[in-house]
Amino acid sequence: MIPAKRLLDEVITSLRTVIAPAIVDPYAKSQAFMAAVILEFVSHQVTERSDIESAKQAALDSVFADLAKLLDGAEIAKVDGDNREGRLCGVIERLYSQREKLGEEIFTRANRRIRQALRELLEQDLKVAAQNKG
């Protein structure tokens, strides 16, 4: 995925150097240049938040480590692939499918830990929403 800032910069450059100069009508031309100015303003408001992604990855790594201990290396806790959020979905599916085998106490503890991690992920997503709102 292209970072938002880079995408906006590309659109701004296209408006200024390709689209606006090609327009003959002076009113439409000034609108194209003004669109570039507005997008440039928006571009300055967009900041890449690598801290959010790092916090999400740390939350996922933590939940996987905790589940591996809690489930004592059970097949449920096995994670593979690079998509950590997708891996968590797989763990949740396996947890529910093996609920009876695990027993209610272990299932409940694992389920609570997963819910805690999901809240942590949501909090990180809400940071982006809060930043974009103001």
* pTM > 0.75: yes or no: no
How far separated are the first and last CA of the chain, in Å rounded? 24
Are 31 and 62 a contacting pair, CB within 8 Å? no
Instruction: Give the pLDDT of the chain (134 residues) as one tens digit per residue.
Output: 577 778 888 999 999 999 999 999 999 999 999 999 998 888 776 666 678 888 999 999 999 989 988 888 666 656 566 788 888 998 899 899 999 999 999 999 999 999 999 999 999 888 755 555 54
Q: How far apart are CA 40 and CA 34, in angstroms?
A: 10
Q: Write down the pLDDT at residue 60.
A: 93
> Domain coordinates of the chain in residue numbers?
4-45, 50-133
